[in-house]
Amino acid sequence: MSPSPPINRSMTALEWMTLTALAAVWGGAFFFNAIAVKELPVFTVVVARVSLAALVLLAVLKVAGIRMPAERRVWIAFFGMGLLNNAIPFLLIVWGQQHIASGVASILNASTPLFTVVLAHMMTPDEKLSGGRFFGVLAGLAGVAIMIGSDAVHALGAGVMSQLACLGAAVSYAFAGIFGRRFRAMGVAPMATAAGQLVASSLLLFPMMLVIDRPWSLPLPGMNAIAALIGIATLSTAFAYVLFFRLLATAGASNASLVTLLIPVSAILLGTMFLGETLELRHIVGMAMIGLGLAAIDGRPWHAVRKLTRTEAEPGGS
């Protein structure tokens, strides 16, 4: 087995390209959601996403010769992960995007690491809050508060509730990040984990879709909605997982986590260019604060500044 890559090493050009591509396809999920939800109800959109993506990943595993585990305890964990990492956040985000722009939803989703740091401090023995991380959480949460704005004080309208739903999705993702640590101890391959959670979430949500959405009674969706469903399942879910786990294996978890900073960029660009969405000043300021918070949590920007300062202070430094 080859050694794991250093956590904080610089990424290669290929890894940066992979990171950029991953941000584009994950940011595209918010774009595809915005199109699909105009014609289809929430549960139908989410079930189509997870079930189609599950089929694609199972085919990838078959080609790669990776077997899905059969142990009962692993599948119980798959259902837990499917609930926390797929079913709950996907439903909340798609519901929220009925009332807010895809760019705003993606910025709120970028707060996931903030909640992860807090929950990991409370729930794990080895990921405690440092001073820098605490500052990062405060800065990020301030950014979230700026984005939601004073509307929350006056009335819980559809827009505010939708923003809170996207925040709820971020919290669910944070729980999933902590819950997912167990798969490594179980010896489950990362790609098998991705496929297993998608299969589990499909099984969880399909009966609910039949009862709530009654898909047989819905009008046939247009080509735009169908293309959006295919896009979000194949590109923003199945292909994204392939890219993510490839990047995780070569660049390490800390480098891979930088994708969180880039997802809103691609989502905002797509929403602005193709959906006619606009962002208010408070959304831009909020995104900047969240970015500052994530940088403080990650720590590397400050290390780079200190290293540069030390280099310039040394004799002979330019």
The answer to whether residue 1 scores a pLDDT higher than 50 is no
Mean pLDDT, residues 44-61 taken together: 97
Judge whether 14 lies within some domain: no
- The parent domain of residue 213 ranges over 22-313
- Give the Cα separation of 292 and 187 in Å (integer): 36
Judge whether 34 lies within some domain: yes
Residue 214 confidence (pLDDT): 95
The answer to whether residue 155 scores a pLDDT higher than 60 is no
For the chain, what is the mean pLDDT? 87
Residue 11 confidence (pLDDT): 74
Residue 61 confidence (pLDDT): 95
Residue 3 confidence (pLDDT): 42
- Give the Cα separation of 288 and 298 in Å (integer): 15
Judge whether 196 lies within some domain: yes
More confident residue, 104 or 77: 77
What is the per-residue DSSP string for 7-51? TTPPPPHHHHHHHHHHHHHHHHHHHHHHHHTTTS-HHHHHHHHHH
- Give the Cα separation of 309 and 109 in Å (integer): 34
Residue 10 confidence (pLDDT): 66
pTM reported for the whole predicted model: 0.86
Judge whether 12 lies within some domain: no
Q: How confident is the model at residue 310 (pLDDT cuts 50, 70, 90)?
A: low
Q: Which of 46, 89, 105 is nearest to 175 (CA)?
A: 89
Judge whether 222 lies within some domain: yes
Query: How many C-beta atoms lie closer than 10 Å to residue 297's C-beta?
Result: 22
Mean pLDDT, residues 184-210 taken together: 95
Residue 191 confidence (pLDDT): 92
- Give the Cα separation of 262 and 258 in Å (integer): 7
Q: How confident is the model at residue 86 (pLDDT cuts 50, 70, 90)?
A: very high
Residue 29 confidence (pLDDT): 97
| Residue type present at position 301 | P
Mean pLDDT, residues 47-65 taken together: 96
Structure tokens at 5: 């890559």
Query: How many C-beta atoms lie closer than 10 Å to residue 168's C-beta?
Result: 18
The answer to whether residue 276 scores a pLDDT higher than 60 is yes
Please state the domain count of the chain.
1
Residue 294 and residue 260 in contact, taking contact as beta carbons nearer than 8 Å: yes
Judge whether 318 lies within some domain: no
Judge whether 15 lies within some domain: no
Judge whether 104 lies within some domain: yes
pLDDT one-digit tens code per residue, 2-24: 344 444 456 788 988 998 999 99
For the chain, give percent helix, strand, coil, nearest 5. 80, 0, 20
Highest mean pLDDT (candidates 34-48, 247-261, 296-310): 34-48
